[in-house]
A and B are shown apart, each in its own frame.
Chain A
């Protein structure tokens, strides 16, 4: 019963997640193909990188009347700088404009991450329904986990007389029954990890506001009650100081005062390490918005670390193209499990109705 109902309620949404997730595995490649992933010009050998202050000025001149929220450095594109502008520092994330700038020439290279993949992404993340949509999909993801665990329990009575990997085609129902069990069994660990990390991701905003309310509030206590900075400190000075505070790390992004990632008085410079794991574990350095002096730096709390580590495990983007292809195949196998499960339920219902027998346990094939 648990297996039937947890799956049935979430089936449609899980199909949506699996189907929209499929192209998203390759969003980088697709964006590149469609021209939504601007590339830097080939830099002259020995060319100096432009100052970040200059890139910030260029970004503001490009989007007049807007403010900067974040400047970001992609780990895999060291010659590009991405600037986020919005109508206000804490503006709606959907209203943000992302533009890439050439690190050596400060030339605008084009906008980042629009196009059809943005539609897939919005459908996958919140179905265009904002935070409630996101939390709803999180609940559906949770039901998916319940369905998987209850499926493990049902696996025993249904397969104990069959050797592992039995795929019969006696009838359509038995064939689908065997495929449901087999594909469910071999994808289970992957599906649990991708499902659970997806659920964790839906809680990102909740975790972020938790972090702001506790850790950040504590870190900026001396600034309580002060008005937001009027003249912002030089970005280059600020970043240089953050680098000195976190030696051996590289900058991931800088959040401007008042954005969701920092306090209203501070720049937050998020530093990253350089191994696959430590590049995800960001370390924030808070710096005074007016002077650029370091205020405080602390490791992220365990729940945000869990969120950051769970992201690659959900996206499948951390092991090169072969891993992406395997990710896509496992996703397709999961789609087959979901569709066959729905089919088996429909067939069982039809059978029950015509025979008017109740209380029979799920789709037990005749032996």
Chain B
């Protein structure tokens, strides 16, 4: 770990829960949007609920090895 990264993630509330919270809010918005509207709501739900899957692929691709 670099010094900069260590500093950035030394443990404040936002760095720990910020990411999951944003994804959580996005997921809930996606779950509801498809329920309320058949057109745009549906497209938004694909993006919003696809985000956790996309993020997983993203972080998997750039994970640290060794």
Contacts and interface: CB of A to CB of B under 8 A. Distances in A.
Contacts of A190: 27, 31, 49, 52
Chain B interface mostly: helix
Given A156-B16, A275-B38, A322-B46, A329 B53 contact: yes
Interface in A207-237: none
Contacts of A360: none
Interface string A161-192: 11111111110000000000011011111100
B33 to A, nearest CB: 9
A333 B51 CA distance: 13
A202 B19 CA distance: 32
Contact of A185 (B15, B19, B66): B19
B35 A318 contact: yes
B11 to A, nearest CB: 3
Contact of A189 (B8, B25, B36): B25
Contacts of B50: 322, 326
Contacts of B27: 189-190, 193
B52 to A, nearest CB: 4
A116 interface: no
Interface of B: 5-6, 8-11, 15-20, 23-25, 27-28, 31, 34-38, 41-42, 45-46, 49-50, 52-53, 55-56, 58-60, 63-66
Interface centre among B10, B18, B24, B25, by most A CB within 10 Å?
B24
A330 to B, nearest CB: 7
A309 B25 CA distance: 19
A-B residue pairs, 10 tightest by C-beta = A160-B11, A164-B19, A189-B24, A319-B34, A167-B63, A189-B27, A186-B52, A185-B20, A165-B59, A163-B9
28 contacts: A156-B17, A160-B16, A161-B6, A161-B9, A163-B5, A163-B15, A164-B20, A165-B59, A167-B64, A168-B63, A169-B64, A182-B56, A185-B23, A186-B55, A186-B56, A188-B23, A189-B24, A189-B27, A189-B31, A190-B49, A193-B27, A275-B37, A277-B36, A309-B35, A319-B42, A322-B46, A323-B45, A333-B52
Given A167-B64, A182-B59, A155 B35 contact: no
A313 B45 CA distance: 12
Given A165-B19, A165-B55, 9 more contacts: A159-B16, A161-B9, A164-B9, A164-B16, A169-B64, A186-B55, A188-B24, A275-B36, A318-B35
A93 interface: no
Interface of A: 155-156, 159-170, 182-183, 185-190, 193, 275-277, 309, 312-313, 318-320, 322-323, 326-327, 329-330, 333
A312 B59 CA distance: 30
Nearest to B42: A319
Contacts, number: 112
Contacts of A187: 52
Interface centre among B36, B63, B65, by most A CB within 10 Å?
B63
Contacts of A185: 19-20, 23
B53 A164 contact: no
A218 B17 CA distance: 49
B18 to A, nearest CB: 7
A276 B59 contact: no
B10 to A, nearest CB: 7
Nearest to A183: B56
Contacts of B46: 319-320, 322-323, 326
B26 to A, nearest CB: 8
A168 B59 CA distance: 11
